Structure 1
Amino acid sequence: MKARFKRAAAAAALGTSVLAGCSLPSSVLERVADNRYEPPSAPIHCEGRKVCDEADALYIADLHADTLLWTRELSDLLPEHRGHGHVSLELLREGRTDLQVFAAPTITPLHEGYTDPVTGEPGVCIPSDGLDLQVPLRLFGGAARYPATVLSPRARALRQAARLEEWIAEPGSRLRRVRTVPDLDAAEAQGEIGALFALEGMHWVGGDETAVRAELAELARIGVRMASLTHRFANGLAVGSEDCGLLRDPSRQDAGLSAAGRWALDEMMARGIIVDVAHASPASIAQITELVRARRAAAGTGAAGRIPGLLHSHGGVQAVCPLPRNLDRASIQAILDAGGVVGIGYWPEALCSRTGDLPEVALRFAASLVAVIEAARDPAFLGRRAQAGAAPIDPFAHIALGSDFDGAVRLKMDAGDQPALLQALAEMDCATLKAVDPRLADVCAATSPPALPLTPERLKALAGANARRVLAAALPR
């Protein structure tokens, strides 16, 4: 164990004993971690507008929220101007949410500075051996009741899975755990909110092939139905997009999957765990999507009638927001080639937004959507697909909502505002994109019919039908 981790472990052990029975309110923890809700500059009005009034007719799915990370309960009320939090049971209902993916982040390293070796510009990267910020979060958030979560990423994942079950069991929650296709169907038929549990980085998984496969089998047993191999940095399975080693040396040859990562991926596909490539490095995404495509080709509809599922749950695109965290064109094309969907996030680092107000979020979300369309219609990409005998891609069938609500982000909207976001997207035209990038405005206008305003069919696909299609094809039956 490295020296800094020995010190952290000793401090955690001491802190657990000193702070036994002592915990801080979630509001304090979230404000310290910058998980902020800020009042919008102008009120968000949705009533009386077509999409908002007809939102019940849409299937609205959000592919990523980190609400389980915090100590508040989902049933807690989060009144306006509360200063923290983006998701509650009340807000999910207000936003007509049909499916919410609740993700469990299990390690949050402190970032470091670096100098880009190509541009010379300063930036921020995530070290794989950095100080884990979840240690103090757990110490001050209930270590006395769940001491194992202070240092164990696996214990944190299991505790967050148990918390989701507790939320579902609360009287009147109207939540249904989604583990199978019948669960997905039943939640929709009964007007309940489907709750799917995901892991954001499986950092503890490793060892030989038998150990890796056994751990994935156990995770599937407890109801994990979506997972990313890593989260921002490099672990024993894969390299993340913001890993310090990668950003300081982009030419490194080990920037993708390890052997353990390949075993884990194979087991995920066999067991109906959807593969999330958010936070993965470009090389990791290329290798993951190649293996998914090969599995689909070899197995047809897959084991038990399933098609291996792949998606990018939340993030941005570099054509709109050129940060390492966001998808480059090749990664977008790889995801589309593997039948996946690209979930677009709402927070500043995904969109390079300045104000964070809903109109700006909608504008830059729309620009990101058009950037995905541009990548899908790249002549070289189309040529490669035609040469392989692949069917044409409808890019509107591969875009989804991926908020990153409660992900230690600052937002001026919450889960109750998603119909208003869809309304804003439905009202937007191609000319408005000139404020972001005139080139994207031209791409938008050249689409037939123009990409904006969204047609009712395209809006329905974006709101949740695309995400639901991937889940229904991949989940156990």
Structure 2
Amino acid sequence: MKKLLFALGVITILYFIATFFVPPYIEEQRNPVKSPPPYSVSTEAQEIYDRLDFISDLHCDALLWGRDLTQKGSIGHVDFPRMREVNVGLEMFTIVSKSPSGQNMKSNSADTFDNITPLTIAKGVAPNQWFSLINRTLGQAESLHQFIEEENGKVIFVHDKKSFEELISARNTDKTVVGAMLGIEGAHALEGSLENLEKVYEAGIRMIGPTHFFDNELGGSAHGENGAGLTDFGKSVIKRMNELNIFVDLAHCSPAIVEDVLEMTTKPVMVSHIGVQSVLDSQRNLSDDQIRKIAANGGIIGVAFFDMAVGVPEIDGIVATMKHIRDLVGVEYIALGSDYDGAVEVPFDITGLPLIVEALLKEGFTEEEIRAIMGENVKRFFLKNLI
């Protein structure tokens, strides 16, 4: 018995040591930055950036890694201090609950080994999250709420129009106040249950992507195997999301789901992080026809920052993508959708956002257009569509 207790004690100690070292190591490997900070831009670009009233990003997976978002990190892409450093007013923190081994842009199976399971265990979270997608999701949501509580009013959780207006009002007098929202990347997190949709709504989630990198109970992924549209369950989820005023995120959805959602939704949609096929011909990216339909729906499109969405060099691809959307349907539908901390290599972390202003300026975008892209479009979208 003594030997058993000793062995269990050693295993416990080794586990807690692993929780301290393993997640940061994994994140450092999975979320590299091509050009680390600090960043510099021209005087003109910096002056324009400094005049921006509201800056927002629609997609960040920082909650996945277990890093303390109240502290400025030396790894990863986003945390509250770095948001403040460059005056970012609102970040959409998205929850990843499952990722298939060998994940790629073309074809993935839901049955392959899940990369998130060992990471979840290594983070030292409660065992009820180790093998439950819905518990992982609610656990990441709770982590954000805890970080916000530690900030003592300096971070406002946005979940309705009133809280968003509170954020805007607070920032009029104190730019160190930042906002955070919650989304889900892949509705497999619901585990096929409408009851779980109610749970994530209560947790404050206000954006959900029907699929991520594999097909699920709602239908087909852009990177899955069947390319299917919405199932009957998927349609019931979209209908209830509309009733609850949870935004549908079309990033990663099969073309058939994109069509089905746009046909049935009674609310404007979001595409939180994506590129366009005219810039990079990828099954992950939007066609011109899809862009037009999303604009007609009153939706908003977040342009991603990584090479598999916009090509290389990334900054050129980001601007080319924005320019194409502007010329096709108008600048009012464009937003930032970085995919920061999403297991992707990015050209710069969040403190490099002035580089986008400089690149847009060089391509002839006006200051008014730059203001719209950097956050005013998101502000207008949420003021209009949150309730």
Could you tell me the TM-score, scaled by structure 1's length? 0.73
Q: Specify the alignment match of 1:264 in structure 2.
A: 237
- Residue identity (%): 28
Q: Specify the alignment match of 1:381 in structure 2.
A: none
Name the CA distance, whole Å, in 2 between partners of 1:85 and 1:274. Answer: 27
Q: Is the 8 A contact 1:64 1:100 kept in 2?
A: yes
Q: Specify the alignment match of 1:188 in structure 2.
A: 168
Q: Specify the alignment match of 2:197 in structure 1.
A: 216
Q: Specify the alignment match of 1:415 in structure 2.
A: 350
SS in 2 for 1:198: strand
| Structure (1 or 2) with the larger CA radius of gyration | 1
Which of 361, 364, 367 pairs up with 2:320? 367
Q: Deviations over 1:394-444 (max 9, x none)?
A: x21111100000001112311111123123212x23xxxxxxxxxxxxxxx
Q: Specify the alignment match of 2:65 in structure 1.
A: 70
Answering whether residue 25 of structure 2 is matched by residue 28 of structure 1, we say yes
Q: Specify the alignment match of 1:5 in structure 2.
A: none
Name the CA distance, whole Å, in 2 between partners of 1:235 and 1:19. Answer: 36
1:27-176 superposed matches below 5 A: 27-32=24-29, 34-39=30-35, 44-46=39-41, 48-52=43-47, 54-78=49-73, 82=74, 84-111=75-102, 124-142=106-124, 145-171=125-151, 174-176=154-156
Question: What amino acid is aligned across from residue 186 of structure 1 in structure 2?
Answer: E
Name the CA distance, whole Å, in 2 between partners of 1:156 and 1:52. Answer: 42
Q: Deviations over 1:183-225 (max 9, x none)?
A: 1111121122110011111204365xxx52x332222222111
Q: Specify the alignment match of 1:437 in structure 2.
A: none
Name the CA distance, whole Å, in 1 between partners of 2:160 and 2:109. Answer: 36
State the 4+ residue runs in structure 1 displaced beyond 6 angstroms: 16-19
Q: Is the 8 A contact 2:70 2:151 kept in 1?
A: no
Question: What amino acid is aligned across from residue 108 of structure 1 in structure 2?
Answer: S
SS in 1 for 2:93: strand
What runs of 5+ residues in structure 1 fail to find an aligned partner?
1-15, 114-122, 247-254, 296-307, 354-359, 377-394, 430-452
Q: Specify the alignment match of 1:473 in structure 2.
A: 384
Q: CA RMSD in A?
A: 2.3
Q: Deviations over 1:111-148 (max 9, x none)?
A: 368xxxxxxxxx74221212100011112221xx4112
Question: What amino acid is aligned across from residue 236 of structure 2 in structure 1?
Answer: W
Q: Specify the alignment match of 1:12 in structure 2.
A: none
Q: Specify the alignment match of 2:225 in structure 1.
A: 244
Q: Specify the alignment match of 1:460 in structure 2.
A: 371
Q: Is the 8 A contact 2:300 2:335 kept in 1?
A: yes
Name the CA distance, whole Å, in 2 between partners of 1:96 and 1:349. Answer: 27
Name the CA distance, whole Å, in 2 between partners of 1:160 and 1:279. Answer: 21
Q: Specify the alignment match of 1:198 in structure 2.
A: 183
Q: Is the 8 A contact 1:230 1:279 kept in 2?
A: yes
Name the CA distance, whole Å, in 1 between partners of 2:349 and 2:28. Answer: 16
Name the CA distance, whole Å, in 1 between partners of 2:82 and 2:376. Answer: 21
Name the CA distance, whole Å, in 2 between partners of 1:367 and 1:242. Answer: 24
Q: Deviations over 1:85-117 (max 9, x none)?
A: 01122210112101100000111011368xxxx
Answering whether residue 287 of structure 2 is matched by residue 328 of structure 1, we say yes
Name the CA distance, whole Å, in 1 between partners of 2:385 and 2:280. Answer: 31
Name the CA distance, whole Å, in 2 between partners of 1:100 and 1:31. Answer: 21
Q: Deviations over 1:318-368 (max 9, x none)?
A: 111112221122222221121111110111111111xxxxxx433211211
Name the CA distance, whole Å, in 2 between partners of 1:185 and 1:173. Answer: 15
Query: Residue 51 of structure 1: CA displacement?
Result: 4.4
Q: Specify the alignment match of 2:339 in structure 1.
A: 404
Q: Specify the alignment match of 2:248 in structure 1.
A: 275
Could you tell me the TM-score, scaled by structure 2's length? 0.89
Which of 209, 214, 231 pairs up with 1:228? 209
SS in 2 for 1:199: strand
